[in-house]
Amino acid sequence: MNRITCEICRDLIPLVQDGVATKDSVEAVHEHIEQCHECAELFHKHLPNKDMDDAKIIVRFKHYTNSVLTVLLFIFIVFGVSLTDGMNVMMNTVIMPVTGTLSCIVFGRSALWRTPAVITVFTVLYHFTSLLQGREGYGDIGNIVMFIILYSLFALCGIVIAALLHYAFRKEHL
Ligand SMILES: [Zn+2]
């Protein structure tokens, strides 16, 4: 079964060829043209080889950048959460907004729920491992929830900043 109709596929082909389509669209188009001969012909006919290489390079570059940013994102969150107990906990007023911005670049709109979800997982893990190590003052639900909310709010600031920048940047180019 084809995920998209021929019409949608043909709308998406120029975007895919220009390397500006989202990952989902690229996958949908490639899935479609694997099964649809007419669209496949259209896809190859309208794609000079050089452009295809360029589009591929752009897509690859985007994938590469996203992977690097995702790794950075996790490092920042783990690092930030690990500061919870120490003197440097205030650094999270910078670290968490940065993670929000990174998350927004990598995940787009879904950063709104993905970022708090990742923060929640690592905060719970942090408390759980501290508890296992027999350190005192951990595992208190109220404490955990407070940090999750606090970190998520800071991350949200970063997301808002990223969204505003994105909006301003787009407006300039219209
Ligand atoms: Zn088709």
Q: What is the mean pLDDT of each run of 10 residues along the chain (174 residues)?
A: 87 89 93 93 75 77 90 94 86 93 89 93 90 77 90 94 84 56
* Predicted model pTM: 0.63
CA dihedral over 27, 173, 7, 43, signed as positive or negative? negative
29 and 77 share one domain? no
pLDDT at 115: 93
pLDDT of residue 53: 72
When divided into structural domains, the chain yields a total of 2
Q: Do residues 40 and 33 lie in contact, with contact meaning Cβ atoms separated by under 8 Å?
A: yes
Ion ligand 1 — residues with CB under 5 Å?
Answer: 6, 36, 39
Same domain, 124 and 161: yes
Residues 128 and 86 in one domain: yes
**pLDDT at residue number 51:** 61
Distance 18 CA to ligand 1 centre (A): 19
For residue 74, CA distances in Å to 38, 39, 82, 117, 119 come to 43, 40, 12, 12, 9
The per-residue pLDDT for 23 is 93
How many C-beta neighbours within 10 Å does residue 4 have?
A: 17
Ligand 1 centroid to 5 CA: how many Å?
6
Distance between Cα 13 and ligand 1 center (Å): 11
Span from the CA of 36 to the centroid of ligand 1 (angstroms)? 5
pLDDT value of position 173? 53
Burial class (CB in 10 A: 0-12, 13-18, 19+), 122: buried
Q: Are residues 34 and 72 in the same domain?
A: no
Q: Domain of residue 93: give its range.
A: 65-172
